[in-house]
A and B are shown apart, each in its own frame.
Chain A
Amino acid sequence: MVQIYFAGIDLGSTMTKVVIVDQDEEICASVIKHTGAEHRRLANQVTEEALIQAGLSFDEISYVIATGYGRITVPFADRQITELTCHARGVFHFFPNVRLAIDIGGQDAKGLKIKDGKLLDFTMSDKCAAGTGRFLELIADSLGLTVNDLGSISLKSTNKVSISSTCTVFARQEVVSRISEGVPLEDILAGIHDAIASRVARMVDRLKVEPDVLFTGGVAKNIGVVKALKENLGCEVLVPEEPLLSGAIGAALLGKEITLKALAKGEPIHRGERHLSEVTFFQ
């Protein structure tokens, strides 16, 4: 049996992720790099890195699906699918019983209602910083900390304070006031995590919270938010080992589905015209 491979490229606003899988759904390669202004153009380089990791050439990839914010501009993809659909498929790979996936990234937050890997419904919050990774960045910034510090410090809290969850600007000011009042840092951070978690819990409420509930995206690495999310949702929340890769994995797996379906029907695989080159905004 000839091995066939599929690639998924998730070109997010903060991070670019590339995953290559084979027909047994084993992950042959995975790469995560910062997108940045420069790197959006250079998604092909990230892909090349993944190919090297897998020991493959570009032509050996049967199907390439691009997803994420920058999906439209990837010239070497056969197809583009939204990160919502890809994500649903990706989390299903590790958690077959997933019914609700919550993804909090750098600039947006999403809730996905899933069954058997299929996306049934979704909510998105992408208009303002509150409830996203950006919220935590701004708070960390005003405290002279890095985002990675926040989680572990907050877990020490025994008496979290209540911080407004409606607006980042207000929340920031509240934090500053509390500091000057002498409130312990861990209590403030616990309050911050509670704020973001309660906001997200409100966002997903209409999707019906039922197990398994998954938490992905960059912010899922923050154990403080994980804890707060469990409290706000009132149930167990699972976090994949690598919470950033679900979109790319899903994209690759969907590529596999499309390919195998076409093969089963005896139809040609509809590939786009693709060459591994720099992403460009000009046609």
Chain B
Amino acid sequence: MIELLKLCGFEEQEMESELPRVEKAFTKLGITDEDIERGKQRLAKYYDIELKGVRKVFRLIVRELVAALLVRDEGKKKVIYGFMAPGIDMLGSAVVTKSKEAFVIHHCWAFHIVVGCIFGKMVPILEAAEKKWLKEGVVAHCANVKTLVGPITLGLFPKPDLLVTSGFMCETSPKTLDLLHELYDIPVWYIDTCQDREFREYPEPTRRIASLTAKSLKRLAERIQEVVGFEITDNMLREVQDAKGKLGDALRRLKDLVESSDPLPLSPTHDNIWMCLSTLTLSIDGIAEATEAINTLYEELRERVAKGLGVVEKGAPRVLAILPAGQTDPRLEHLACEVGIAIVAIDGSLAAPFKETSEDPYMKFGLESQQRSMSFPLRRRIPLIIEGCKKLNIDGVLDRFHVGCRSVVADALIIEEAIKKELGIPVLLLEWENFDPRVYNHEQYKSRFEVFKAMMTKKSS
């Protein structure tokens, strides 16, 4: 266990206090010695943990999960879980900065990375959820909600005082919470916006929608205030947004370095690690630690770049991946590297050009949420992707489309057609599940990647 923690960036001097907590938490998860061995191997294989920055980030993630599992044991009086709820990280950070008695966790991400990516033990969780009502197979529901229902029905997490989700992207998560409320008596809350953006409004943000988002988030804040018993002021939120802004800048700087370097200095398996980091409900100090970890990593990568070191060979074909990396399983991204493909960016990091912001922290959030690629209707998402491809000198696009996601799956064929037509570069469509490690066919994916690589290499030669 100590070795595993060291791989995850824990320092020698904190072992005494941290080790018993981690052991207690992992026992709750049913982690065995066999799992720990496997965890060490997977960390070494799939992630660049020789880099201190990466280890520091893992440390934050592991600590968050441990805190979430031990939440009642460690005397937190009020517990709020967010699940797929952008915005709750902002409110949650404000809450944990102010109080030691209240705890907010953005549930999913830390759980996915530790249980899924590190230990490879996500499948029993998914099966527990499938025993209830979530389908498996071809018409499966997004496995993400299975990672919420599974732990709840297995009793891994204690019952929260409030469970929050959003309908920003899809109906699956809110519907799941509806059922959890009715069948398991868990208090729930939803933040919502409206997805009626029209393409003709681009490049302006749609202010009425930003305003709706802001009001919905404000209502959530009011509800959270009721639960925790103290006020969440605008100033508290501005402080959090400032700190997160710095983290965001640091990540942007890191991604720019990765995108512009040849050979690719860092494995794309880390893409979802950054996503997790941005959405953890860390206190202001925690966010600062995260920023520092990213800055450390930045320096380490600069060294790599200076020495011409990378995880794929120099001149490897540059690929843009649509949708985030595997949340519970790093094998696909790792395979891409092994085959010699450099996934330099994901479309989620492509953002709209407008920079409008607001003094009101809620409105600021509302406006910023309109910048992400997936918040655009298809007619504007595609030009955004195409411009991104041009800017990043992309040789091919990997659309590993997540079949469980009713929100994005429909775009796949149209994106493929548009890119081939506009840019004439190869597009690889891979039916896949972002959260379900069972949907991974090594032989098939490998041969398709090899063909993909050959097509891109042929093109450029």
Contacts and interface: CB of A to CB of B under 8 A. Distances in A.
Contact of A198 (B127, B438, B441, B442): B127
Contact of A164 (B130, B138, B438): B438
B136 interface: yes
B75 interface: no
Given A173-B441, A173-B443, A167 B131 contact: no
B229 interface: no
Contacts of A170: 438-439, 441
A23 to B, nearest CB: 44
B137 A166 contact: yes
Contacts of A166: 136-137, 438-439
Given A170-B438, A173-B441, A128 B127 contact: no
Closest 6 CB pairs of A and B: A164-B438, A205-B131, A166-B136, A202-B131, A166-B438, A166-B137
For A164, A166, A167, A173, the residue with the greatest tally of chain B CB atoms inside 10 Å of its CB is: A166
Interface string B438-453: 1101111000000000
A130 B441 CA distance: 17
B130 A202 contact: yes
8 contacts: A128-B137, A166-B137, A166-B439, A170-B438, A170-B439, A198-B127, A202-B127, A205-B131
B403 to A, nearest CB: 12
Interface string B419-444: 00000000000000000001101111
B431 to A, nearest CB: 12
Given A130-B137, A166-B137, A202-B127, 4 more contacts: A128-B137, A170-B439, A173-B441, A173-B444
Contacts of B131: 202, 205
Interface of A: 128, 130, 162, 164, 166-167, 170, 173, 177, 198, 202, 205
Contacts of B438: 164, 166, 170
Contacts of B123: 162
Nearest to B123: A162
B116 to A, nearest CB: 16
Best-buried of B123, B127, B442, B444 by chain A (most CB within 10 Å) = B127
Contacts, number: 24
Contacts of B127: 198, 202
A177 B443 CA distance: 9
A164 B137 CA distance: 11
Contacts of A202: 127, 130-131, 136
B194 to A, nearest CB: 35
A267 B441 CA distance: 63
Interface string B106-135: 000000000000000001000100110000
Nearest to A198: B127
A251 to B, nearest CB: 32
Contact of A167 (B130, B137, B443): B137
B10 to A, nearest CB: 30
Contacts of B441: 170, 173
Nearest to B132: A205
A164 B439 CA distance: 9
A128 B138 contact: yes
A164 B140 CA distance: 15
Nearest to A199: B136
Nearest to B433: A166
Contacts of B136: 166, 202
Nearest to A176: B443
A205 B129 CA distance: 12
B63 to A, nearest CB: 30
A167 B138 CA distance: 9
A162 B126 CA distance: 14
B138 to A, nearest CB: 7
Contacts of B439: 166, 170
Nearest to B139: A127
Interface in B167-218: none
A266 B397 CA distance: 77
A115 to B, nearest CB: 23
Interface string B289-332: 00000000000000000000000000000000000000000000
Contacts of A177: 442-443
Contacts of A205: 131
Contacts of B442: 177
A202 to B, nearest CB: 5
Nearest to B438: A164
A205 B130 CA distance: 10
B32 to A, nearest CB: 15
Q: Which of A128, A130, A170 has the most CB of B within 10 A?
A: A170
Contacts of B137: 128, 130, 166-167
A170 B138 CA distance: 12
Contacts of A130: 137
Interface in B212-245: none
A202 B124 CA distance: 13
A173 B127 CA distance: 21
A264 B438 CA distance: 59
A162 B123 CA distance: 10
A167 B136 CA distance: 10
Nearest to B124: A162
Interface string B129-157: 01100001110000000000000000000
Contacts of A173: 441, 443-444
B179 to A, nearest CB: 14
A146 to B, nearest CB: 26
Nearest to A206: B133
A108 to B, nearest CB: 15
Nearest to A170: B441
**Most interface-central of A128, A162, A177, A202 (chain B CB within 10 A):** A202
Contacts of B138: 128
Nearest to B126: A166
A202 B123 CA distance: 14
A181 to B, nearest CB: 12
Contacts of A164: 438
B69 to A, nearest CB: 25
A252 B140 CA distance: 40
B33 to A, nearest CB: 17
A164 B138 CA distance: 14
Contacts of A162: 123
A52 B207 CA distance: 84
B415 to A, nearest CB: 26
